[in-house]
Amino acid sequence: MLTLYFAPGASSMAVHIALHDIGIAFEGKPMSFKGSDLREPGYLSLNPEGKVPTLLIDGRPLTEVAAILVLSRAAIS
């Protein structure tokens, strides 16, 4: 299962939309810029930069929008 950490209104929504459009199943984890979501120790252990998106693939994080989109496209080819 894939897990996507994203923030509404941020570039991470491109990944969220693409995964939905492609039909790839994932668990969405919305994050807040207003709260301390991106600075929580648990999240920083996944993405030390404290940015979104973070896509967990079998527990391994992928954190760049372009890389996630390329990988998503490759998954359906």
Ranges of each domain in the chain: 11-56
Residue that is written with structure tokens 């994050």 in the block:
31
Statement: residue 1 has pLDDT above 90 = no
**pLDDT, tens only, 17-73:** 999 999 999 999 999 988 899 999 999 999 999 999 999 999 999 999 999 999 888
pLDDT of the residue at 21: 94
**pLDDT, tens only, 5-29:** 999 989 999 999 999 999 999 999 9
pLDDT of the residue at 35: 84
Token pair, residue 49, equals 């930069």
